[in-house]
Structure 1
């Protein structure tokens, strides 16, 4: 199903090349990039706009937006990864008798999204690591099809973490006991 949707989106942009004047643009870009003086050797390419998610322009736009956050708020303090676990209780409860999680991408995506929203509430509303100035995250899929999210979090000046000891002290005193931390990491 994903391939059909992706193909449909690509066909749409292929058919709209005249509207974005891709021939003129691509000819200029090709000539400049390879220093070619003979325009007859320039190939025709399909230009994907930045609205095509995952395309080169979209990725560049997202990168530039993330770098603008770093320029404005400083370097990130926390790099956090959340990975989908096919053994989560919520997933196992919804599977049929002979079903496997890898055969239900709809279920995986829905439960991962719900848990991601819970994590975002913990990070930004409950402020478990402190007050956040800015953040950026991306959701990727592993080769087995399971999603995972990477967060870069920039804390406000009073909440900056300068040494591992200060993180341990802040986290254990204000939020969780060692037993609770153990339980959270084992789930």
Structure 2
């Protein structure tokens, strides 16, 4: 019996269900994530859905912060065309957690943030008994520093996502030509 409990415990520790802490400063002002961003990297426990034309390949270029929500201005490649979209993630009672309706219900967590440099957003989507996790690294500049990328990879590993599931978006078409 104790072997079974140990196995369950180890599975939970290594799963993508890791606890979300949000920014280290509990008094972090969420309005600081507002403004222009560049999608720099993504990782997922279902990397096949992150392909260039995948529904989950979302390229955030601006975050608008309101008292009750985060509004993401983004692009998606649909049939080879960069299509602008706006998605709204509404605040929940939990700090740094939001709900977003897109292909079902998504829990969006504002994770690590350096408002002048980078932000990490983690999204959990449940559908048909399966959970998809997508972690996105945003950068204030089109390029991202090696230190920031290493920190992102470390964050992903801690959440059960390893390098084969990470996409470096700085080497792909991020619809930069479509930004206003």
TM over 0.5: no
- What range describes the TM-score normalised by the shorter chain of this pair? under 0.3
Indicate the structure whose relative CO is greater, using CA pairs within 8 Å and at least 6 residues apart.
2
Bigger Cα Rg: 1
In the superposition, the TM-score normalised over structure 1's length comes to 0.24
Greater fraction of residues in strand:
2
In the superposition, the TM-score normalised over structure 2's length comes to 0.24
Greater fraction of residues in helix:
1
